[in-house]
Amino acid sequence: MEEKTIQIAGSITVDELATALGLSVTELIGTLFKNGIVATINQRLDYETASIIIDELGLKNVKLEKKNTSTRTSDLRRELSDKAVTRPPVVAVMGHVDHGKTTLLDTLLNKKTVEGEAGGITQHISAYQLKHDDRLITFLDTPGHEAFVAIRQHGAMLTDIVVIVVAADDGVKPQTVEAINFAKSANAKIIVAINKIDREGADIQRTMADLSNHGLQPEEWGGDITMVPISAKMNQNLDKLLDMILLTADIEELKADIDIPAEGLVIESHMETGKGSVVNLLVTGGELKVGEFIVAGSTYGKVRTMLDWKGKPRGKATPSTPVTITGFKELPNFGDRFAEVKDEKTARKMALLNAQAIANESASANVTSSDLLRMMNVADNSKVFNVIIKGDVLGSVTSVVDSLKLIDTKGEITLNIVSTGVGDINENDVYMAAGGNTVIYGFNVSVPINISKMAARDGVPIRTYRVIYELLDDAKYEMESLLDAEIIEEDKGEMKVLGVFRTEKTSIIAGGEVLKGDAKPGFLARVIRGKEYLGEAEVASVQKEKIDVKELTAGETGGLALKTTSKIDLQIGDRLKFFTRESKKRTL
Ligand code: GDP
């Protein structure tokens, strides 16, 4: 057989794989189905899943190859025109927990806020700007690990400089290494702030040695990494750190075009009563103005209000400026790119196209090899319960997912989490659920009217809850309804056929003697000749001396009218074994 090599870059659609294998899509979908995966033609399969399926198909001549997609550098760093202007650097402060990130940002903020305009910062902000030497520096707050991961996942490599905070009395720790790796993969410049130098156990030299063992060579030792010893708490040497940030920015010649449509990144979003969606954006190119139309992922809107990071209204935002805007129809996701478009019609169209693209792409997350293996372990006749989980915060989504996975499905039901997400239920969720027999569960989120209409039209069930147990109970109930009912049969009696008066296609009239138990209308009967089973019939009526009676008991003779689904050629001497059959709904 001819050898064949199929290259997979990340994932491959069912359609593409079928074509590459020379199979029909139906055939491939059939094989997936046998393995418990309900796939559509556009569904994306990851490398491992594709190889398992090829094994299943017994295609020994096919070799799969992982095609390396080059690490995505910034989508956001576009080619600049010669009209590009200098912009402030975007800086992320990262490092191991307790090494002083928060303290550093607080001290910088207090210092500069006190020096500059008065007014404390009360609300949580995800980005802010400081002025040093009359020049702006944009700081991104990357508070938790989640945000960190999300930035990476979205390829949102908008950070120019990563300040890695390392405590001089603690040295390089796991999250320090993670920060180093992040900075490198993001192609960002690294500046190390060796913190807590006021502490007794602080050892700058040892910390530098530790860092150089992790690939960061200090400038002082002939390397290329600027390391600034500081005390965030005592406000020591912070000006030097800011100097170094600006110097790095100068060397990097950070620029952006401003005469292009505005673009940038969503860095935070939430709903506020009375305001609707409140979204923090970081502009990376162009100038965003109040009144303009923007698209981000599957949502769009018109910039209704725009505030700077201190909450002061402003009319426009230039590159590297973080702003808070209202006006998005729905909440965009953290890490989504936004772009200005010319009018509402274009905005709506682009959002819709994005929603479709997202639906296709996110399908890939469903069919991973671990899902496949899990599904293969379930009995062949297993049923799949598809769900989409939306929650108000990541934590609630995680706990709903974890709790759902804990429901014991007795190996008969496979829970398939089609997608999860933070925020209200949106068009995209309904798209994904439509046609896929999928229930959308929302926890502490709402369903906009247009979305519930769309869901009703597409027959997509949406259920929202405020109490997690109620959600779980409902999911359990849904899964129970997928279980095959339990069939309970009970023997009732037996009759020997002594006469056959009529046999038609679906009815028989016969007479006989009840040998044991009784014969009643409604009973089912197995027709037995010797050892042979001839078929099943239902007792329609029972007669004794040509009069309808409720029953015939053991020892009595009488007549029966039987209903059958196909013709049974009943003969004298056959036995009718009476029984009842009940189906009982099962529970988990
Ligand atoms: P984060 O987890 O990296 O944000 O660390 P924090 O900023 O919360 O700091 C952790 C602890 O270290 C807090 O108790 C701070 O007061 C303390 N800390 C931070 N920077 C310094 C410093 O420069 N000197 C001293 N002595 N303590 C510091």
How far, in Å, CA of 271 to CA of 261, rounded? Answer: 26
Residue 586: predicted pLDDT: 82
Question: Closest residue (by CA) to atom 22 of ligand 1?
Answer: 196
DSSP string, 198-250: TSTT--HHHHHHHHHHTT--BGGGT-SBEEEE-BTTTTBSHHHHHHHHHHHHH
pLDDT tops 60 at residue 384: yes
Question: What is the per-residue pLDDT across 315-354, written as a single tens digit (0 to 9) for each?
Answer: 999 999 999 999 999 888 777 789 999 999 989 888 887 7
Q: Is the CB of 196 under 6 A from ligand 1?
A: yes
Q: Do residues 411 and 430 touch, judged by C-beta distance below 8 A? A: no
pLDDT tops 50 at residue 572: yes
Mean pLDDT score of the chain = 83
R_g (Cα) of the chain, nearest Å: 35
Residue 467: predicted pLDDT: 82
How far, in Å, CA of 429 to CA of 299, rounded? Answer: 12
Specify the DSSP class assigned to residue 455. Answer: H
State which amino acid sits at residue 299. Answer: T
Question: Closest residue (by CA) to atom 11 of ligand 1?
Answer: 98
Q: Is the CB of 169 under 6 A from ligand 1?
A: no
Residue from 103, 109, 111 whose mutation best tests the ligand 1 pocket (most atoms within 8 A of CB): 103
Q: Is the CB of 201 under 6 A from ligand 1?
A: no
Residue 117: predicted pLDDT: 38
Q: Tokens 């247009």 belong to which residue? A: 450
pLDDT tops 60 at residue 365: no
Three-state DSSP at 560 gives strand
Q: Tokens 């929603």 belong to which residue? A: 355
Strands (E), 110-260: 127-132, 135-140, 161-167, 189-195, 226-229, 255-256
Task: Please give the structure tokens belonging to residue 297.
Answer: 């992922």
Task: Please give the structure tokens belonging to residue 193.
Answer: 């702030």
Question: What is the per-residue pLDDT across 201-237, written as a single tens digit (0 to 9) for each?
Answer: 999 999 999 999 999 999 999 999 999 999 999 999 9
Q: Which atom of ligand 1 is nearest to the CA of 96?
A: 3
Specify the DSSP class assigned to residue 377. Answer: T
Percentage above 70 pLDDT, the chain: 86
Residue 201: predicted pLDDT: 93
Q: Is the CB of 97 under 6 A from ligand 1?
A: yes
CA end-to-end span of the chain = 49
Question: What is the per-residue pLDDT across 128-141, written as a single tens digit (0 to 9) for each?
Answer: 899 999 999 999 87
pLDDT band at 552; cut points 50, 70, 90: very high
pLDDT band at 36; cut points 50, 70, 90: low
Q: Do residues 303 and 328 touch, judged by C-beta distance below 8 A? A: no
Residue with the larger pLDDT of the pair 342 and 355: 342
Reference 331, options 390, 288, 284, 286; nearest CA is: 390
Residue 183: predicted pLDDT: 83
The Cα angle at residue 318 between residues 239 and 126, in degrees rounded to 5:
60
Taken as a whole, the chain contains a residue count of 588
Tell if the pTM clears 0.75, that is, is over it.
no
Specify the DSSP class assigned to residue 196. Answer: -
pLDDT band at 111; cut points 50, 70, 90: low
pLDDT tops 80 at residue 537: yes
Q: Do residues 37 and 48 touch, judged by C-beta distance below 8 A? A: no
Residue with the larger pLDDT of the pair 89 and 435: 89
Residue 536: predicted pLDDT: 93
